[in-house]
Structures are given as C-alpha cells and as structure tokens.
C-alpha cells in the first residue's frame, strides 16, 4: 500500500475520532502533514472561523433528528444570517420553489437564481457542433459563474447549492465570495442520490469497480 500520500479512506482505525493518532498508519495526514494541520488549527482560532465552526457544532445536538434541509435552516439561524441565496438547476425548479417557500416561512429573506440565467448556449464556450446532444441546434448551457455573481451582488450571506451539474458546482464554488453549503447534488439516474451507485456497485452497478486494488 502506498504510504507517500494521504489515504484516510483506507484507514480501518480512525482513532482520530477519539483524539488519539499514536497508532495511525503511515499515510495518516496527522503524521504526514502535522505542520499543515497545526497551521490549520491556528487559522481555526481566528474569530470568524471559530464562530463558524462553533455554529456547526451547535447543530450536532440534533444529530440524527433533523433532515439536511432542517440542518441548513438551523445552521443559518446559528450564524445569524438573514438573507439566503439559492443557486439551483432548472431541472429542480419545483424543488427550488418549495425550498424558497420554506425559507421564507422560516423568516429568512431569500434570493434565488436559476442555472439558465443569462441565456447562454454551448456556442458561448465554442463547443464543437459534433459534440452537442443534437448537432445543428442550440444547446442551452448553465451559467454558474453568473449565478455566483448574482447571489453575491444581491447580498446573500449563505449560498445554498441545489442540484448543480458536476463541474458547474465547481465553477460556482470557485467564483462565489460568500460562504457556500450544498443542500443536494444532481444525479439524474438515481433520484439525486449519487451514493446509491456505490451502495449497489456489487449487484446492480457492477460496471463500477469498487474493489480495493491489489498491491
């Protein structure tokens, strides 16, 4: 097994959960990057990071009782946020409307922006016609950079991502200035539950090789 890079996913002990890293494997970041983690802890002591992390910890008291939607509401309340922004996929418009209603009913000010804002097409990124879903026709394209800009401009204190495409979420996170949380990710095949593919990789999605590689 490689020990020259961090692989927490291969650690069978996870003693760090109990505050003990003395028996951790060689690929443990607590051993490999003790200096970096010390620097990270120094940053954690900064006031803004302290309060943000503390407000996360406050939600743990309801662990296993609240849905992720409710946890998002609770975290926003813990932080004292008044204005929340929703960046959503056009395919989840109904869900976005319900979420907007919920957050307004919870006394938040809400701004929402759809991925189609700006009316872009794949021609705007010079996608070859042969690579379009239907060559010769206009192919709508998401605008995550625009979504981030709109939410930032309208004063959203916490951006909530709802079903952005893989890669579009990356661009949004790269360009947004306000804090971000992910409520749901898109999986058009598995009802937006991408982990379902991993859970069923041994008997349904067998094309996904999740067996540990031989050394």
* pLDDT score, position 136: 84
Query: Looking at the DSSP assignment, which residues form a beta bridge with residue 47?
Result: none
* pLDDT score, position 117: 95
Q: Are strands 109-114 and 180-184 parallel, antiparallel or unpaired?
A: unpaired
pTM: 0.91
Tell me the CA distances in angstroms from 61 to 46, 58, 64, 74, 114, one per residue in order.
24, 6, 9, 11, 34
- Phi, then psi, of 176 in degrees rounded to 5: -70, 150
Residue count (the chain): 215
* Residue closest to 5 by CA, chosen among 38, 37, 31: 31
Do the beta carbons of residue 157 and residue 81 sit within 8 Å? yes
Spatial distance between the Cα atoms of 24 and 212, rounded to a whole number of angstroms? 20
* pLDDT score, position 132: 87
Ordered mean pLDDT values, 10 residues apiece, the chain (215 residues): 83 90 90 94 96 92 92 96 98 97 98 94 86 86 95 98 96 98 96 95 94 85
Q: What is the DSSP letter of 157?
A: S
């Amino acid at each position: 097994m490689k020990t020259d890079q961090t692989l927490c996913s291969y650690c069978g002990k996870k003693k760090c959960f109990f505050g003990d890293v003395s028996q951790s494997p060689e690929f443990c970041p607590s051993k490999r990057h003790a200096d970096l983690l010390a620097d990270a802890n120094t940053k954690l002591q900064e006031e803004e990071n302290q309060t943000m992390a503390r407000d996360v910890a406050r939600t743990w008291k309801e662990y296993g009782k609240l849905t992720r939607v409710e946890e998002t509401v609770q975290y926003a309340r813990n932080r004292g946020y008044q204005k929340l922004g929703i960046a959503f996929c056009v395919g989840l418009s109904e869900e976005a409307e319900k979420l907007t209603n919920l957050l307004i009913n919870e006394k938040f000010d809400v701004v929402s922006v759809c991925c189609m804002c700006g009316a872009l097409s794949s021609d705007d990124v010079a996608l070859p016609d042969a690579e379009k879903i239907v060559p010769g026709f206009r192919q709508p394209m998401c605008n995550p950079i625009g979504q981030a800009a709109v939410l930032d401009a309208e004063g959203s204190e916490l951006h909530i991502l709802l079903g952005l495409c893989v890669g579009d979420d990356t661009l949004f996170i790269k360009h947004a200035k306000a804090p971000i949380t992910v409520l749901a990710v898109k999986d058009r095949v598995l009802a937006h539950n991408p982990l379902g593919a991993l859970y069923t990789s041994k008997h349904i999605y067998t094309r996904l090789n999740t067996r540990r590689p031989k050394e």
